[in-house]
Chains A and B, each alone.
Chain A
Amino acid sequence: MCEFCKEHGEGKKWYLQAKNYSRELWNEERKRFMVDMFEKFEETRVKNFGALDKLMVSDPDAVKAMLPSRVEQRKKEHWGQVVPVEEIEQILDMAVNIIRLPCVCRSTLRGLYDARYCFGVTTFKAGWTGILKYPDYSSDLERLTVEEAKNAIQKLDHDGLVHSVWTFISPYIGGICNCTATDCLAIKARLQMDFPVFFKAEYVASIDWESCNGCRNCVKYCNFGAISYSASIAKCYINQFECYGCGVCRAACPKDAITLRDRNAIPVLAEEW
C-alpha cells in the first residue's frame, strides 16, 4: 500500500476513510490554503513551473538535489492519488456536499475557462464556500446530488478521464479531479518534469490474454502510454511499470478483458508509486 494508507488510513485505503473528509479537519488553516490556491492559481503555476523549467536546463543537478524536499513538502500540502471509478463512487456515497467547478489546470494550460471536470466533495455542510467570493469560480459552481455526481463520473470514465483525489493540507481530502495527460498540470509535472505530486493507484491493470481481440481501443484510452500492441500476435500488453491503475481502459474494452489487480500483490510493483 502507499505511504498515505499506512500514515493516514491505518493500513486501509486512506481515501476511503471518512476521517480524512471530516469536519474536524476543516480548520481555518485549510480554508485559507484552499482559497489562496484558487485565488492565485494561474500566477503561482506560471511562476513555479517556469522556475523549475529554467533550472532543469541550467542546473539539472540542483533540481535533483532539491526535489526530495520539495516532494515531501507537497505531500504535506496538496497531494493526490489516482483512484478507479468504483472507489470514486464509494467516496461520493460518503458526501453531503458535492459541487462541480471549472478546472483550473485547463484554464491555465489550454484557455478553457468553463471546463467543469473538478468536483469539490465534503461530508458536511460547508467547505468550498470560501471560494464563492471569487466570481470567476462562483458563477460556475454547480451543486450536484450524489446520483448526479455518480452519473457524471461514469460518463467521464467512459470518455477516458483519469480520476484522482486531492488533499488540501494532507490528509484532508477536498476534491476529485478528472484528467487527461494533455491538459493536467499534475500529470504534466510527473511525466514531463519528473516532479511527482501524486501516487499511482492501489491497482494495476491486467489484460486477459485469451479474451483480448487486439482491437487496440485500450491503447487509445491510456493516458500514460502504458499499453502496447503486438501486430504479429494481435494482442495488447500492459506495461505494468507505466500503468497508473486508473482503470479507464476497462471501459474501452469491448471484450471486458481488462481488470484491475491489487498493486501490492505483485512483488515488484508493491513499491512502485
Chain B
Amino acid sequence: MMQIEIDEQKCKSPRECVKCLQACPEGVFMNYPRQARAPGKRAEDWVIVPVLLSLCTGCKVCEEICPQKAVTVSVVA
C-alpha cells in the first residue's frame, strides 16, 4: 500500500499547476474547492488530494514532475 503526501506549504497553485493530476497514469489525484461554490460565486481555495490510493503503483511520476517538490510517495506496511 502506498502513501502520498502533498506539502500544502509548497504546493502553491494547486488549481493552475495540476501537473501531478495530469501525469498520474492511474488517476489517483483529484482537486476540489474547499470553499464551495455558491450562487453567483466561483469555487475557491482549491486543493489537490490523493484519493484513489489503492490504485497507486508507486511509480513516483508525481514526485518527479512536481516543480515545487511538494509530493512524497512512500510505501506503508
Contacts and interface: CB of A to CB of B under 8 A. Distances in A.
B36 interface: yes
7 tightest A-B contacts by CB?
A111-B18, A42-B32, A133-B39, A111-B21, A50-B51, A46-B32, A108-B30
A61 interface: no
Contacts of A188: 27, 52
A134 interface: yes
B27 A43 contact: no
B54 interface: yes
B22 A108 contact: no
A189 B38 CA distance: 27
B34 to A, nearest CB: 8
Interface string A84-124: 00000000000000000000000111111100000000000
Interface stretch (B4-12, B41-49, B58-66): B41-49
Contacts of A182: 27
A43 B22 CA distance: 19
B42 A135 contact: yes
A133 B15 contact: no
Interface in A155-195: 182-183, 188, 192-193
Interface residues of B, number: 27
B22 A111 contact: yes
Interface of B: 1, 15, 17-18, 21-22, 26-27, 29-33, 36-43, 49, 51-55
B20 to A, nearest CB: 9
Contacts of A40: 36
A20 B42 CA distance: 32
A49 B51 contact: yes
Nearest to B1: A57
B33 to A, nearest CB: 6
Contacts of B17: 111
Nearest to A51: B51
B54 A42 contact: no
B42 A53 contact: no
